Every structure is written in structure tokens, then in C-alpha cells.
Amino acid sequence: MKRDWLGIWLIAVSLASLLFIVPHVVEDFAEEITRRAGLSTASASFLLGGYLALQSLGLVLIALGKRSGFVLSFWIGLIWVAGAVLDHGPAVLRGGFRSGALSVLWVVGLVLTQSLSAALAAWEAWGRRGRVGLPFAG
């Protein structure tokens, strides 16, 4: 059986991203981001759990060799990156973000690992095997 090394790397990078995502989101909750978003802590926690479940589902589908896992992983990664950059990018660039270097590490780590995840997923889903079309074209 031939190994899909791209899929293995994508799974590894996506799992490694949790080392940055979890502490960052805990810090977000401590900073009461839920109130700013107009959500209760309970509802935001439920949504986060659902989102992480979708990320996990993408990895399971990749392990099963399904293209849909790469497509799902692409969108999950893109949304993580967009959310982090739009919400925290300006503050990180200004300096003095939250509790300092650790807070910056968590955001930058999240952005880097999820950017790599999205890139690997896009490469497999739409490029590597000669597939054509844009990520949003199905």
C-alpha cells in the first residue's frame, strides 16, 4: 500500500496546530472575546467544540483517502487564519499584545500551522493530481 505522504504531513501539521490553538482560545475566553462577539461562554464553547470536531473530521477523511477531507481541511485552515489575522493581527503588529511573547507565539503559531495546513490541503485537493478549479468551485 502506497503512503500518501502529503496527507500524513497535513494530519501532523493540523494536530501540531492544536498546541497553539488551545492556549490561544483559552486566552481569548479569559479576555472575554465571547462578550465582544455577543455570545455566552457556553454557546461559544459549544461552537468551538463543533469547529474542532470538523477539523478532526477532515483529518479522519484524509486518513481514509477522501478528497473531501482535504477540502474540509483547507476551509478550516483558511477560517482559522482569517479569524486570527483579522482579529489579532493589528494588535500583534503594534506590539504589547496581551501577556507578551507567549500570546504572540500562540497567535503566530496558529497562523503558521493553519496556513501550512490550508496550503497542503489545497495542493492535494486541487493541484497535485492535476485537478483544476478553484477551492470554492467545488
**Residues 70-88: tens digit of each pLDDT:** 999 999 999 999 999 998 9
Residue at 112: amino acid letter: L
In a domain, 131, yes or no: no
Q: What is the pTM of this model?
A: 0.86
The reported pLDDT for the residue numbered 134 is 46
In a domain, 115, yes or no: yes
Q: Could you tell me if 37 and 78 are in contact, meaning their C-beta atoms sit under 8 angstroms apart?
A: no
What CA–CA distance (Å, rounded) separates 109 from 126? Answer: 25
The reported pLDDT for the residue numbered 78 is 98
Average pLDDT across the chain, whole number:
90
In a domain, 30, yes or no: yes
C-alpha cell recorded at residue 60: 479522519
In a domain, 26, yes or no: yes
**Residues 97-136: tens digit of each pLDDT:** 888 899 999 999 999 999 999 999 999 988 765 554 544 4
What CA–CA distance (Å, rounded) separates 53 from 93? Answer: 31
**Residue 113: which of 86, 73, 66 has the closest Cα?**
73
Q: Report residue 4's pLDDT band, with 50, 70 and 90 as the boundaries.
A: confident
